[in-house]
Amino acid sequence: MLVRQPNQNTQDGDIVVENEGWASRRLVLARDGLDYSLHDTMMHAGSTTVLDYPHHLESAYCIAGEGELEDLTTGERHLLGPGTVYSMGHGDRIRLQAHTDVRLICALTPALTGREQLSEGGGYPLAPEARPALRKKNLFVVNLNEFNLGRLQSIRNAENYNFLKLLDGTDVLEQTHYDIDRILAKARAQLQQYPGQVDGLIHYIDFPVSTTVPILCREFGLPSASLEAVLKCEHKFWSRYEQRQCIADHIPQFAAFDPFDDQALDKLGLDFPFWVKPIKSFSSYLGFRINNRDDWDHAIAEIRAHIGRFEGPFDKLLERVRMPEEVASIGGGDCIAESIIGGRMCTQEGFVHKGRLRVYGTVDSMREPNGSSFASYQYPSRLPARVRKRMTEIVETFMAHIGYDNAPFNVEFFWDANTDQIWLLEVNPRISESHADLFRKVDGASHHEIATDLSLGARPRLPYRDGEFAHAGKFFIRAYRDALVKAVPGPEALAEVARHLPDTIVRIMPRPGQRLSELMDQDSYSYTLAIMWIGAASPAKLQRNFERAVELLEFDLEPV
């Protein structure tokens, strides 16, 4: 039991910390062996103090004076007076204005050691000897690998989390068939057998991860968008059906068809050219531009040969939700045809938290001369601010319409500069793994921080322009004909890239002895030889850095 009389909280008397806005008498401290410290704080009349704790939690009880609390995240304001209690968790940020002298009794965890002052940002440093305020949060990450662990470790407060791997790549990546029941069973078993508490679940992978995570989150009581809202993004026809009801001016003509119906082309009602793709796919896999009947015949042959990879697993997920009558008969074995849309392409990365949507970054998508394959993704976007604002308004309307909440997303758009028309291409219910290192290079932390905060039910705040580079890009080295890979760049070549282009990440895709056509999940018009993430001071320098990297990375390909 600890009993302390006035002026007895240290051998030398009270510890009082003061600055221009307040004075705090520290009554209980870390050395007392408790998980919290207790303070008697006087906020001076006319003072304004911002509080934003990266390491601490606080509850305060007002016993005298009058003032106002402003939530800097939501903009809400609250009167502060005798009897008012407020609490701050991780992610909360408030401004406290004292109209008169305001006296607060405050409890902070972890405990302060005694002499700490608020930083410019409004937080206290974390004392090494203080007991942790909260145990580390246990966050499971689907198919956690070295690359994404590095991005997760770049986020603020990464030391407060245990990042734990859930499932393997052999469960959820590049498989010829995805057994949804087995994936769910294996994930459940891992989570149930974990000896600690499961606090959150993070993902950044498309099907089947994006559609199984909401099921697991619901079963384990974790924050997530609903499965129905996710499927309204993932099911390409259902998504267009919902978009037609709320943002009809920003979508193309579209129609569903059965690829095994020999009369499907005549039933479409679309003129050439148009795009076809499965109801569920990713990375442009089995997506084709159809200019004439020969293109159609080629595309249908490819789709018929490979669409079964998604049909059964996706239908298994659709059985869990109630679909509109107009959509219910269209499943994973069907396709969608869409009229051609185009222009400058970009992706908006954002999230919805408790019904409030925010877009925190726009990434430009540069295409190869074939108009289909991506050449690079570059951040920040160079599109006009007014265009990006309109895009955000469009996605805000759609997400509210489908009830998408408590999860990240990315949305692909086209902007036709000649007509000022904005087209919505597709909505992905996850962060984009491709963009993770772009945010780290430019803003100072990967947007894995967004996924981390949302997985814990907190409203995210990503740093802004705190990175080493003003611009960053993910670039592709591609081949356009099948070939046998005789040799790929080795360690010496990669070391040369690192020496000439610091903080450049290179990922080689094929292996020696492999045919390019054996690579999984390629678009329909090219093969990816390498991916690299590059930073630079300007877009022009970014392009020069890429060209320099291409010179250093030599592939030996034997045409097939």
CB 420 within 8 A of CB 380: no
Q: Is the dihedral of CA 433, 246, 278, 338 positive or negative?
A: negative
Q: Distance between alpha carbon 91 and the CA centroid of its chain, in Å?
A: 17
Q: Output the pLDDT for position 47.
A: 95
With left for phi above 0 and alpha for psi between -120 and 50, is residue 189 left, alpha or beta?
alpha
Q: In tens digits, what is the pLDDT along the chain, a chain of 560 residues?
A: 788 876 666 555 678 899 889 999 999 988 887 778 999 999 999 999 999 988 888 999 999 999 999 999 888 999 999 999 999 877 789 999 999 999 999 999 888 888 888 888 888 887 765 555 456 889 999 999 998 999 999 898 898 899 999 998 888 887 778 899 999 999 999 999 998 889 999 999 988 999 999 999 999 999 999 999 999 999 999 999 999 999 999 999 999 999 999 999 999 999 999 999 999 877 677 889 999 999 999 999 999 999 988 899 999 999 999 999 999 999 999 999 999 999 999 999 999 999 999 999 999 999 888 777 889 999 999 999 999 999 999 999 999 999 999 999 999 999 999 999 999 999 999 999 999 999 999 999 999 999 999 999 988 988 999 999 999 999 999 999 999 999 999 999 999 999 999 999 999 999 999 999 999 878 778 999 999 999 999 999 999 999 999 999 999 999 98
Is residue 531 within 8 Å of residue 475, measured between CB atoms? yes
Token pair in block for residue 222:
């974790």
**Whole-structure pTM over 0.85, yes or no?**
no
Closest C-alpha to 454, from 491, 429, 478: 429
Residue 459 DSSP one-character state: P
Q: Is 498 exposed, middle or buried (0-12, 13-18, 19+ CB in 10 A)?
A: middle
pLDDT at 32: 80
Structure tokens at 557: 């390909």
- Which residues, other chains included, contact 532 with Cβ-Cβ below 8 Å and sequence gap of 6+? 474, 475, 477, 497, 504, 505, 506, 507, 546, 549
Q: Which domains does the chain have, with CATH numbers?
A: 15-109 (2.60.120.10), 471-559 (3.90.1170.30)
Element (H, E) at 259: none
Separation in Å, CA 159 to CA 126, 435, 535: 12, 23, 26
List, edge to edge, every strand of the sheet that includes 37-43: 15-18, 22-28, 37-43, 102-109, 57-64, 85-88
Contact 210, 281 (CB under 8 A): no
User: Nearest CA to 530 among 554, 560, 498, 499?
Assistant: 554
Count how many residues are written for the chain: 560
Residue pair 383/414 in contact (Cβ under 8 Å)? The answer is: no
Q: Which two tokens stand for residue 290?
A: 């159809």
DSSP assignment of 148-160, as one string? HHHHHTTSTTGGG
Tokens representing residue 292 in the block: 């004439």
Nearest to 379 by CA among 322, 450, 317, 446: 446
C-alpha–C-alpha distance, residues 128 and 283, integer Å: 46
Q: CA end-to-end span of the chain, whole Å? A: 81
- Cα distances from 486 to residues 92, 527, 531, in angstroms, run 55, 15, 19
In angstroms, the Cα distances linking 150 to 163, 319, 476, 505 are: 11, 37, 21, 12
Contacts of 384 (CB under 8 A, 6+ apart): none
Cα–Cα dist 107/317, whole Å: 47
**pLDDT at residue 156, rounded to an integer:** 86
Distance from C-alpha of 284 to C-alpha of 275, rounded to nearest angstrom: 11
| Of 532, 355, 360, 505, nearest in space to 431 by CA | 360
List C-alpha distances in Å: 443 to 149, 322, 447, 463.
Answer: 18, 41, 9, 6
User: What's the pLDDT at 130?
Assistant: 59
What's the pLDDT score for residue 51? 93
Q: E strands within 215-287? A: 254-257, 274-278
Q: How far apart are CA 298 and CA 290, in angstroms?
A: 9
- Beta carbons of 321 and 231 less than 8 angstroms apart: yes
